[in-house]
Structure 1
Amino acid sequence: MNKNDLVETIANSAQISKSAAERGLNGLLSSLSAAIKDGKRVTLTGFGSFSVVDRAPRTGRNPKTGETIPIPSRRVVKFRPGKELSVKIQ
């Protein structure tokens, strides 16, 4: 499912126009992005939670040459599905 499919699904289920559904989805996504960027945990009950975690530096391997290379530490977004979502996908 891509963003356009999601907008259409929201519009149909909420019985609103596609443009209103897209504005709502864009607002949700920008709010989520801003909160995650600030390092906050975002929890959507029944769906899951998004959080920022720090990855430690490590060594990797260049697949072309086999040479080991250092991979620096960085912050990444982690998603943990909620209990209800986990049950639905099994």
Structure 2
Amino acid sequence: MGNLTRRDLVVQVAEETNLPQQQAAKVLGSLLRILMESFGNRQNIELRNFGVFEIALRRARVGRNPRSPGRDITIPPRAVVRFKPGKQVKRILQKVTQELLEESAGKKSSP
């Protein structure tokens, strides 16, 4: 179970839509460009049943440089993207949670 890459998405979209991979790549590229432009315009992105990508401001905080942990540094505030899952994604995550809990319980009980 590796990560899903851009290339994997292109291949899957091409297979499901019967489009050539070049066209699927162009569609995916356009979609990602539009999403990034929306973030640049400070728009949230709402995809029904999937979820909402929201722009939020992370407050300034104090952190430490791992290379010199004796000194505190101030991390400035910055805009971040947060994801709030929709109903269908929540259901999937509940199943994944259950599977992960069962796997971890199995690892603990085996000698």
Equivalent position of 2:88 in the other structure: 84
Shifted more, 43-52 versus 4-13: the winner is: 43-52
Q: What count of residue pairs does the alignment treat as equivalent? A: 90
The structure number with the bigger radius of gyration is 2
Q: Confirm whether residue 68 of structure 1 aligns to residue 68 of structure 2.
A: no
Paired residue for 1:9?
A: 12
4+ residue runs over 3 A deviation: none
Higher relative contact order (CA 8 A, sep 6+): 1
> For structure 1, which segment, 6-15 or 46-55, has the greater mean C-alpha deviation from structure 2 after superposition?
46-55
User: What SS does the aligned partner of 1:8 have?
Assistant: helix
TM-score, normalised to structure 1, is 0.92
Partner in structure 2 of residue 39 of structure 1: 42
Q: Residue 29 of structure 1: which of 28, 32, 53 is its match?
A: 32
Unaligned runs of 5+ in 1: none
**After superposition, what is the alpha-carbon deviation per residue over 1:40-63, rounded to whole angstroms, capped at 9, x for unaligned?**
010111211111100111111222
Distance 1:78 1:71 in 2: 19
The 2-side partners of 1:64 and 1:21 are apart by 44
Letter in 2 for 1:80: K
Percent same amino acid at aligned positions?
32
Structure 1 residue identity aligned to 2:72 = T
Residue by residue, what CA displacement relative to the aligned partner does 1:52-75 show, whole Å, maximum 9, x if unpaired? 100111111222322111111111
TM-score normalized with structure 2 length = 0.76
- Root-mean-square deviation (CA), in Å? 1.1
